[in-house]
Amino acid sequence: LNCIGINNLRGRCQLIVTCDTGSTNLEEIIYAKNLGIDIIITDHHTLPVERPPVTAIINPRYLPVDHPLFHLSGVAVAYKLVEALYQKLPHDQRPLEELLDLVAIGLIADLVQLRGDCRYLAQVGIDRLQQDLKQPAAARRRPGVGRLLELCQKSGDRPTDISFGLGPRINAVSRIQGDASFCVELLTSRNGSRVNQLAQETELANARRKSLQKDVAQQVAQKLKQLDLSTTGVIVLE
């Protein structure tokens, strides 16, 4: 959460639902409240010392450590909220289970422990992903995911294909381009030519990320050569 973004919603929005963030953004929550905007937080990060003044805060860290939901990642917490809404509210939407492939990608890429419900959601989601990949490219629900897997030469049938294939590429786009909407379109669009273009750009962003990472590592190594490590207790580099 940030005050600039909240201010952009002034007068246009009565409710903000966060995903994977917000538990400790007390200043921003109060700012939104003063503008008449309610907030529902869905998150899995560090809990605030005191409950913030929000409409609801949904965070599995409030559960016992041995609870099957304790290790849910941000995407899985958001999914559980939507699942509860589906149970409570009348709807005429596509089956919620169709989102489980995206839930699995988010769970595994976020490197949470695959225990309890996390393991179950990841397994079911990978099965969904495999069902989609068996379809001809033109009939797939997630053609962008299939194209990304082809570019990184992964089959998508195991968690490591996501953690070492899809995850770094999805992360690279937002880090290099500073825009997360790019990946939303890549993951959800059914326009084959468009997602092919986006997948190619994602591959380029990941190559750029690798290059930058390599450059930084070389700079660090060069700086370390200039230090007397026998007399240096703590090393701080920019």
Q: What is the pLDDT of residue 208?
A: 94
Q: What is the pLDDT of residue 12?
A: 93
Kindly list the strands in the beta sheet with 56-58, ordered across the sheet, starting from the edge strand earlier in the chain.
Answer: 15-17, 38-42, 56-58
Distance in angstroms (rounded) separating the CA atoms of residues 21 and 46: 10
108, 116, 180, 203 from 206: Cα distances, Å: 18, 32, 14, 5
| pTM as predicted | 0.84
Q: What is the pLDDT of residue 103?
A: 94
Tell me 166's DSSP state.
Answer: I
Q: What is the pLDDT of residue 120?
A: 93
Compute the C-alpha angle 115/121/122, nearest 5°.
75
Residue type, 88: K
Q: What is the pLDDT of residue 198?
A: 92
Distance in angstroms (rounded) separating the CA atoms of residues 75 and 191: 24
Q: What is the pLDDT of residue 102?
A: 94
CB atoms within 10 A of CB 159: 18
Q: What is the pLDDT of residue 19?
A: 93
Distance in angstroms (rounded) separating the CA atoms of residues 52 and 1: 13
Q: What is the pLDDT of residue 14?
A: 96
Q: What is the pLDDT of residue 59?
A: 94
Q: What is the pLDDT of residue 194?
A: 92
Predicted confidence pLDDT, tens digits, the chain (238 residues): 999 999 999 989 999 999 999 999 999 999 999 999 999 999 999 888 888 999 999 999 999 999 989 989 999 999 999 999 988 887 777 888 889 999 999 999 988 888 888 999 999 999 999 999 898 888 889 999 999 999 988 888 888 889 999 999 998 988 888 887 888 999 999 998 999 999 999 999 999 999 999 999 999 999 989 888 888 888 888 7
Cβ atoms of residues 20 and 74 within 8 Å = yes
Q: What is the pLDDT of residue 158?
A: 86
Structure tokens at 184: 């939303």
Cβ atoms of residues 117 and 103 within 8 Å = no
Q: What is the pLDDT of residue 154?
A: 87
Cα 96 → chain centroid: 18
Q: What is the pLDDT of residue 48?
A: 86
Distance in angstroms (rounded) separating the CA atoms of residues 137 and 175: 28
Cβ atoms of residues 79 and 101 within 8 Å = no
Query: Please, what is the angle between helix 181-188 and helix 192-225, to 10°?
Result: 140
